[in-house]
Amino acid sequence: MKKCLLCNQMFAPVLSLNQLLSWRKWHEEQLCHHCLAQFEFLPTISCKICSGKLLQDADKQSLICSDCRRWQKIYGNNVLYHQAVYLYNQAFHDLMVNYKRYGDYVLCYVLQDLCYKNLAKIKADYYVPIPTSASHIAERQFDTVSAIYGDLVNLTAILGKIDGQQAQGEKNRKERLQSKQSFFIKAKYNIDLNMKKVLLLDDIYTTGRTLYHARDAVLATFPKAKISSFSVCR
């Protein structure tokens, strides 16, 4: 039996025969079925660029969401292909408030639970986490994105973030979209991402602003990097 990380009830994790017969350590489920059912998968028919939900008629006709249509106006065909797993619903909102605002570190294992199967299907040469600014790390004592993905893939933390800016999570939609580039490539990393498959990792894709800035920062140094992105939630 195991204790669910969200409701503290005991539950029996379901193990497949393969897992039972395997010598390798398998991923242990962290959530009971009741809590897991509170999270809603993104619809199968979703935006073909960012996997977001198609809300407006124009979205449904083109299979491109309104956020991505706006990015197309700026970037033309050079849009960022993004994969996500869950829809941003109340359960996800509550989870992220406890994780990011109240700094409940143990919830990174819940987020791992929600995304590890999907992330395992994406093969990349480099997995690059979206960084937290130094002052936010000092507040929470941990980096929220690296805490989720560090156990799942090898991270290449080449991106840094300029300090002194308001967190994206504290802004409204308009402020998010207007936020300025704050990412840079850390000088100490002596690697070449040109021609390499790079997967940018974030916890949530809201407007796309953060991930497009991160991609622009990588491309400024490595113009031939092949970049796509992933988040638990969209």
65 vs 193, beta carbon nearer Zn ion: 65
Shortest Cβ distance from residue 101 to Zn ion (Å)? 21
110 vs 119, beta carbon nearer Zn ion: 110
110 vs 193, beta carbon nearer Zn ion: 110
- Helix (H) or strand (E) segment spanning residue 197: strand 197-204
7 vs 162, beta carbon nearer Zn ion: 7
Shortest Cβ distance from residue 191 to Zn ion (Å)? 30
Q: Based on C-alpha coordinates, what's the Rg of the chain?
A: 18
Q: How far apart are the first and last CA of the chain?
A: 32
Residues in Cβ contact with 181 at an 8 Å cutoff, skipping those fewer than 6 apart: 213, 216, 217
Chain residues that interact with Zn ion, rule: CB under 5 A: 4, 6-7, 32, 35, 47, 49-50, 52, 65, 68
Shortest Cβ distance from residue 173 to Zn ion (Å)? 15
Neighbouring CB atoms inside 10 A of 67's CB total 22
Shortest Cβ distance from residue 158 to Zn ion (Å)? 26
The encoded tokens of residue 117 equal: 């199967």
